[in-house]
Amino acid sequence: MNIEEIRSFCLSLPHATEDVKWKIDLCFCVGEKMFAVVGLEPGPTVGSFKCTPNKFAELIEREGIVPAPYVARYHWVGLERFDALGDDEFRELLSKSYELVYEKLPKKVRNGLEAEN
């Protein structure tokens, strides 16, 4: 996947929004909480996302996937290159990241998002 494909997929998820943070990162959020980040400028990682503790341990053993700088303690992984994951697996992991973040939103925020429909 490339940046545009990732952007299109992330924004297809319910209530997902995008925002540029730190002037160099395209962040995808639900309820104002990030679930995925894509770098807009070259850096040590091209993107990152949240995953379960077990998946985190599994993914960081793969070539091209590292603990995400600053947020690894929250089980975020960083991709050193976009092709570190196949497209289908990448979409599945982005969906799971979205779900993990959505499920942790306060009930009032989730209810507000659902009321928008």
Q: What DSSP string runs through 11-72?
A: HHSTTEEEEEETTTEEEEEETTEEEEEEESS--S-SEEEE--HHHHHHHTTSTTEEEPTTTG
**What rounded mean pLDDT belongs to the chain?**
94
Average pLDDT over residues 13-21: 94
Query: Does 116 have pLDDT greater than 80?
Result: no
Q: Decide if 50 contacts 63 (C-beta within 8 A).
A: no
> Domain count of the chain?
1
Residue 23 confidence (pLDDT): 86
Residue 115 has pLDDT above 90, yes or no: no
pTM: 0.93
CA distances from 74 to 9, 35, 53, 63, 98 (A): 23, 11, 8, 21, 14
What is the b/e burial string over 35-64, where b = at least 16 CB atoms within 10 angstroms of the residue's CB? bbbbbeeeeebbbbbbbeeebbeebbeeee
pLDDT at 117: 62
pLDDT digits (tens, 9 = 90+) for 23-61: 889 999 999 999 999 998 888 889 999 999 999 999 999
Task: Give the range of the structural domain holding residue 62, as residue numbers without chain letter.
Answer: 3-115
| pLDDT band for position 113 (cuts 50, 70, 90) | confident
> How many Å from the N-terminal Cα to the C-terminal Cα in the chain?
29
CATH assignment of the domain containing 94: 3.90.1150.30
The model's confidence at residue 6, banded by pLDDT at 50, 70 and 90, is very high
**More confident site: 74 or 44:** 74
Residue pointed to by tokens 């497209």:
87
